[in-house]
């Protein structure tokens, strides 16, 4: 824990000293339960490290433990946030204002802690952003509550969740947005709820719910013209896709 605090203090001083210049970087390596981490970056071409970063060759954002809270605010364009989170009872709140930003995060991909009881919210205002959030890809994302609020056009959202009673809600306002979502589940208590409200034309949606031993629920409210919508619900059948 002490190691993490030292890294965070040093990097945040660098960030605040040049809050509106480019290329600030934050490195965090946290191990231990009940951490509460709050980060804000302002400007362009900033980086919160992880997933093999780049720029000054950073990595991690790596958070390991139970009952973790992470609050990220990135304000500006061409910023990047990458991270690995291994936790149960994790709360993540991500707020991005700006265009052409990249957000990539995975929660407990190796089933270290189980990825259960997670509450995450992604708020994006801007165009041309690329957002990837994968949860429990080998664990089960039990009782996940995931909310997206996207305002802007030409955004790309990718999410893969190993669902187990998970709820995935998206509210999207803008044209030419792309969603690629896959919810899988092999547990007999699996079953996921996906709800999409979208306003805007020329969208591309590829949505797959693939629980094999339980039910899935899906609701889409869509206003706009043009584009492609593909929905697959499959509980052990053979799908031909769209």
- For 92-131, what is each residue's pLDDT tens digit? 899 999 999 999 888 776 665 555 678 889 999 999 999 9
CA distance 216 to 2: 44
Distances 62 to 29, 65, 200 between C-alpha atoms, Å: 5, 10, 36
pLDDT at 58 exceeding the cut of 50: yes
Residue-averaged pLDDT of the chain: 79
Q: Return the sign of the alpha-carbon dihedral for residues 218, 208, 230, 118.
A: positive
Residues in the chain: 242
pLDDT at 184 exceeding the cut of 50: yes
pTM of the model: 0.82
CA distance 173 to 14: 35
Domains of the chain: which residue ranges? 2-233
CA distance 192 to 166: 5
CA distance 45 to 28: 18
> Is beta strand 156-164 parallel, antiparallel or unpaired with respect to 178-185?
parallel
Q: For 191-226, what is each residue's pLDDT tens digit?
A: 788 999 999 999 999 998 887 766 788 899 999 888
């Amino acid at each position: 824990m002490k190691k993490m605090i030292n890294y965070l203090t040093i990097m945040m001083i660098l960030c605040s000293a040049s809050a509106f210049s480019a290329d600030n970087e934050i490195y965090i390596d946290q191990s231990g339960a009940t951490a509460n981490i709050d980060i804000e970056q302002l400007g362009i071409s900033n980086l919160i490290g992880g997933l093999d970063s780049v720029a000054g060759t950073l990595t991690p954002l790596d958070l390991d433990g139970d009952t973790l809270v992470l609050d990220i605010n990135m304000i500006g364009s061409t910023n990047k946030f990458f991270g690995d989170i291994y936790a149960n009872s994790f709360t993540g709140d991500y707020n991005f204002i700006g265009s052409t930003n990249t957000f990539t995060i995975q929660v407990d991909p190796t089933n270290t802690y189980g990825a259960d009881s997670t509450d995450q919210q992604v708020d994006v205002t801007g165009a041309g952003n690329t957002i990837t959030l994968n949860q429990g890809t080998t664990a089960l994302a039990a009782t996940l509550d995931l909310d997206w609020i996207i305002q802007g056009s030409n955004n790309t959202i990718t999410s893969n969740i190993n669902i187990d009673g998970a709820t995935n809600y998206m509210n999207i306002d803008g044209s030419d947005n792309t969603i690629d979502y896959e919810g899988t589940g092999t547990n007999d208590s699996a079953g996921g709820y996906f709800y999409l409200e979208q306003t805007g034309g020329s969208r591309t949606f590829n949505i797959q719910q693939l629980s094999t031993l339980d039910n899935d629920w899906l609701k889409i409210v869509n206003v706009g013209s043009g584009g492609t919508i593909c929905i697959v619900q499959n509980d052990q059948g053979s799908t031909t896709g769209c």
